[in-house]
């Protein structure tokens, strides 16, 4: 739990700044003290405080024994976007502490600043659910932007009724629009029942509207669409509406 900003509580600015107290305690520079605080290593009366300007007086101030200025840099968050989030803006609102995946395997310590300056990457089709990426990390931003057309996406599209062999063949043979060839896809039947069929698509690059257009051309009525994977990174067991940190070993 994090101590709320004192200004929000109407507390007068008495006492000394937390950064000044930490600098004296650790015999370090004010800048280093601010980094320890922003890194979530400092507790005031047993609660984490991440604001260097927080005022302390007769408070008990502690620094975690594992405190370090190494790591805890820019992060990337992976969200299982629900279908009812129309675009990245409402999806961004789901990136809160109470929406973090239980037993997030990353081991990253959640900090307030991890929710600042996040950029949404690799858009989904309108109305689609599935893997969405938000990042502060310039390396991830560059990778997903520069290699966008080379990165394969895996998407499940559920359509009404059945899909016959002829329709499947047309999807795999490629189509054109206004005389121009559309991006090629690889399609296969993932599962089917009496009322619907789930198609598995693999295609390189994010092409919003493409799968909807291909299905429309074949008179396939889309019931749902979900992105499972971007490049080498799969959504796996991430629950709907929850997020987790990108792990240090994971790559797109």
**Domain assignment of residue 70, yes or no:** no
Instruction: Based on the fold, state whether residues 156 and 219 are members of the same structural domain.
Output: yes
Are 153 and 141 within 8 A, CB to CB?
A: no
Q: Report the pLDDT value the prediction gives residue 57, as an integer from 0 to 100.
A: 87
Q: Report the pLDDT value the prediction gives residue 218, as an integer from 0 to 100.
A: 95
> Which one, of 222, 252, 219, 248, lies nearest residue 72 by Cα?
248
Instruction: Based on the fold, state whether residues 141 and 161 are members of the same structural domain.
Output: no
Q: Report the pLDDT value the prediction gives residue 115, as an integer from 0 to 100.
A: 92
Q: Report the pLDDT value the prediction gives residue 206, as an integer from 0 to 100.
A: 85
**Domain assignment of residue 5, yes or no:** no
Instruction: Based on the fold, state whether residues 113 and 87 are members of the same structural domain.
Output: yes
Q: Report the pLDDT value the prediction gives residue 109, as an integer from 0 to 100.
A: 86
Number of structural domains the chain divides into:
3
**Domain assignment of residue 8, yes or no:** no
> Which one, of 77, 118, 121, lies nearest residue 99 by Cα?
77
Instruction: Based on the fold, state whether residues 163 and 225 are members of the same structural domain.
Output: yes
Q: Report the pLDDT value the prediction gives residue 8, as an integer from 0 to 100.
A: 44
Report field, pTM of the whole predicted structure over 0.85: no
Instruction: Based on the fold, state whether residues 136 and 165 are members of the same structural domain.
Output: no
The domain in which residue 81 lies consists of 76-149+235-245
Please give the full DSSP string across 16-75, using - where no structure is assigned: EEHHHHHHHHHT--HHHHHHHHHTT-EEETTEE---TT-EESS--EEE-TT--SSS----
* CATH number of the domain encompassing residue 204: 3.30.70.1560
Residue 184 DSSP SS3: coil
> Which one, of 67, 70, 47, 68, lies nearest residue 59 by Cα?
47
Q: Report the pLDDT value the prediction gives residue 241, as an integer from 0 to 100.
A: 94
Q: In order along the chain (252 residues), what is the average pLDDT of each group of 10 residues? A: 51 78 89 84 88 88 83 86 78 92 91 90 88 94 92 96 94 91 95 95 92 94 96 94 94 92
């Amino acid at each position: 739990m994090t101590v709320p900003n004192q200004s929000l509580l109407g507390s007068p600015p008495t006492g000394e700044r937390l950064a000044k107290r930490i600098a004296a305690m650790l015999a370090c520079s004010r800048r280093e003290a601010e980094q320890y605080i922003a890194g979530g290593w400092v507790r005031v009366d047993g609660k984490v405080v991440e604001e260097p300007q927080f005022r302390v007086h007769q408070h008990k101030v502690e620094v975690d024994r594992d405190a370090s200025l190494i790591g805890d840099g820019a992060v990337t968050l992976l969200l299982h976007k629900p279908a009812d989030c129309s675009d990245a803006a409402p999806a961004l609102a789901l990136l809160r502490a109470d929406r973090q995946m239980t037993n997030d395997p990353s081991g990253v310590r959640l900090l307030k600043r991890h929710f600042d300056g996040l950029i949404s990457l690799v858009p989904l089709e309108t109305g689609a659910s599935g893997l969405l990426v938000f990042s502060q990390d310039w390396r991830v931003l560059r990778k997903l932007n520069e290699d966008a057309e080379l990165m394969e996406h895996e998407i499940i599209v559920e359509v009404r009724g059945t899909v016959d062999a002829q329709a499947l063949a047309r999807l795999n043979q490629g189509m054109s629009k206004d005389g121009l060839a559309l991006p090629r896809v690889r399609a296969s039947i993932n599962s089917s029942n009496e009322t619907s069929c789930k198609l598995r698509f693999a295609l390189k690059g994010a092409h919003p509207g493409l799968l909807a257009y291909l299905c429309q051309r074949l008179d396939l009525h889309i019931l749902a669409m979900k992105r499972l994977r971007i490049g080498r990174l799969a959504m796996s067991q991430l629950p709907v509406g929850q997020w987790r940190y990108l792990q240090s070993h994971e790559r797109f």
